[in-house]
Structure 1
């Protein structure tokens, strides 16, 4: 992961074809309109109406109301196809890729963009500031949607340049509770069956125009837990009559850190974080209960189920030693984002043709952040990648989920260019 930025750099847009560069004013206009009207997960009514209105105006076949507010656009190329049903196997060595691509004679590539915003009050003073109190596009999803719209528009105008079908998936609720699973359940990867999927995330942890792409794990699994320690309250001066839930909780917090330190292979990466601990009401009262909330992150899919078991073992053991009880809730939100090697190589080869900065392509770009793009990647081979969008010289380098998050809009045509070239090369 790149943690520092060049002191000065410029972005060369000459590698973005002129017909896409001329879309820049529209891309910015669309992004800013979306930014002004942010909506939370499964509530993206205005966003979906805007996307659908554009697709309708451009004559693009699309379905609305998928998983409440999701949309899928379908664009069929008219270029004469010369591939066979197994050519996509050349793009990936994974058994899943070969098995899936052999099912159909016409290749289908999906592009995914998320549409939802966050419950954050925006602090930016810009003309396109959020008009919805307490809601903000603080993670770049407005840019993702604008890039996907630009890609749809360009593909519709240049269908003679590719042979195959492109599905563009406008997904709700990535930030939670998750829109990918219900969209998959609704059949967005079927009729016609999708052979591969790609998606991007504008990334303020990378300088403008760089691309973070790698095979294998890119983003972490996300698991969450709530635990209430059930002790016995009493007077702070007479502790021997109580079971102090705060003492028990404190020992649990410390003990949970031994899971990564002593139960996980140091070669693997994992995180156990207790993010909230609440107990007590007064100076001289021993708390009857203590509540803690936390998250678990890891890249290796083999850890599925391991942390849940180990966390409960530790909580149960500490509670037993103090005579306390507990109530534990534990659930898996998203699996890790695992990129297919062949599709990741396709994206990397295209990115090298589009971007040129002092940093360029960043293969070591993993993050313990999570993404429900992972559910799509469990179904079909694909690649999720980061497109650097930070520009400190313009004060556009605040981190994701910050109330002053914003990005350099120069990145928008780069995203369209990468998607378009991926489409053309995938079908070639």
Structure 2
């Protein structure tokens, strides 16, 4: 096992390599389930390091395997590899070359950090008490690659006892991290509501049933679920993002379609809110003489960290960067993260790695066309993931 100073020195020594990887990936972003070049580059780096792997898991996923020199447990590190449909506006020499696609959520950095951790661990694998699986996961931003990877068996043979992952945080300065106990990210569901009325001339609305008016009442009524049905001490969000309906200014619309999203932080609240949505849509629509169809689809589950795993990350970070640079986050995010499925399958911890640098103007948020990172976070992330592995495998009973 490396000492703290040895680990930081070795991580700093591979920074140029990490920067080269990250910038190459950043120049060539690919959307979910289309990460063919990214997959091939990951395979190229694993091959150079002599790390065996399985490819094309859950379509474009890759799983590397580092076998330690001492028999022990198996844990996994996870990175997502897909990009977003955003046109990059940064004028940098590593600007996206794929028009309309951009690594605006830092998955290029996540992939790089995992490759860096793999190198640090693999170079010292004879002192590793156990094994490490490297999960390079597709499609976090779209259909979600975590669940199909699990269904493909990545948590078995050998059985994975714990999973650790991280996400770049543009609101945390580089050199610092954020950890969160219990709930980290919300669960999501998508809504599609089609409201049917009867068309009529706009001058004689009494001859029809106004689907737009019904839709307005439905949207207003849905908000009462959060304000009047959910315990104020819990969290829920219902957002309607798209309204489509009507054909002309003087025609009463006979069809309106609403689409939106639901976010919750507790499984019981999730079930209750979805039940109330169906009741509210049904009763409101019928009371106004219309009919409806409602489709609710599951998205990602709530990401709940295992507190003992968070303790390991926290202690590793304190050793590397000092307690003053380790922030305990108080509030969960209502954003979603499909690492949640790994966290359901095994005790896990997901944390935030600072990438902000105000002096260099690196301040823009995730999913924006000017997002960037301070690349000093890359060796730190690699070292922290590696030390977390050592602590779990060598110290945890």
Report TM bin, short chain.
over 0.9
Choose from 232, 238, 254 the match for 2:220: 254
Structure 2 counterpart SS, 1:195: strand
SS of structure 1 residue aligned to 2:330: coil
Residue 200 of structure 2 is aligned to residue 209 of structure 1: no
Query: What residue number does 2:66 align with?
Result: 75
SS in 1 for 2:129: coil
Residue of 211, 221, 230 corresponding to 1:245: 211
- Separation in 1, partners of 2:191, 2:114: 35
Distance 2:359 2:207 in 1: 61
Q: What is the match of residue 65 of structure 1?
A: 56
Does the CA contact (< 8 Å) of 1:208 and 1:389 recur in 2? Answer: yes
Candidates 7, 10, 14, aligned match of 1:19: 10
Deviations 1:90-136 (A, max 9, x none): xxxxxxxxxxxxxxxx3111000000011111111111111111111
1:345-391 deviation per Cα after TM superposition (whole angstroms, max 9, x unaligned): 11111122223596631322521000110111111111011112122
Greater CA drift, 236-245 or 206-215: 206-215
> What does 1:13-412 align with in structure 2 at a 5 Å threshold?
17-78=8-69, 80=70, 106-356=72-322, 360-412=326-378
Deviations 1:282-334 (A, max 9, x none): 22222111111111111112234322211111011111111011111111110
- Structure 1 358/397 Cα, relative in aligned 2: closer, same or farther at 3 Å? farther
SS across alignment from 1:334: coil
TM-score if structure 1 supplies the norm length? 0.88
Please state how far the C-alpha of 1:53 moved relative to its aligned partner: 0.7
Are the structure 2 counterparts of residues 358 and 344 from structure 1 closer, same or farther at C-alpha, using a change threshold of 3 Å? closer
Q: Equivalents in 1 of 2:139, 2:286: separation in Å?
A: 40
CA distance, structure 1, for counterparts of residue 189 and residue 173 of structure 2: 30
Gaps spanning 5+ residues in structure 1: where? 1-12, 82-105
Task: Kindly indicate whether the alpha-carbon contact (under 8 Å) linking 1:40 and 1:116 is maintained by their aligned counterparts in 2.
Answer: yes
Which secondary structure state, in structure 2, belongs to the residue aligned with residue 266 of structure 1? coil
Contact 1:212 1:365 in 2 (8 A): no
Q: Is the 8 A contact 1:351 1:361 kept in 2?
A: no
In structure 1, C-alpha distance between the alignment counterparts of 2:392 and 2:382, rounded to whole Å: 15
Gaps of 5+ in 2: none
Asked whether the equivalents of residues 230 and 269 of structure 2 are also in contact (C-alpha less than 8 Å), the reply is no
Query: What SS class does the counterpart of residue 158 from structure 2 fall into?
Result: coil
CA RMSD in angstroms, aligned pairs only? 1.6
Measured in 2, the distance between the counterparts of 1:404 and 1:327 equals 40
Distance in 1, matches of 2:122 and 2:360, equals: 34
> Is 274-283 or 63-72 further displaced after alignment?
274-283
Q: CA deviation at 1:16?
A: 6.2
Instruction: Figure out how many residues of one structure are paired with residues of the other and give that number.
Output: 391
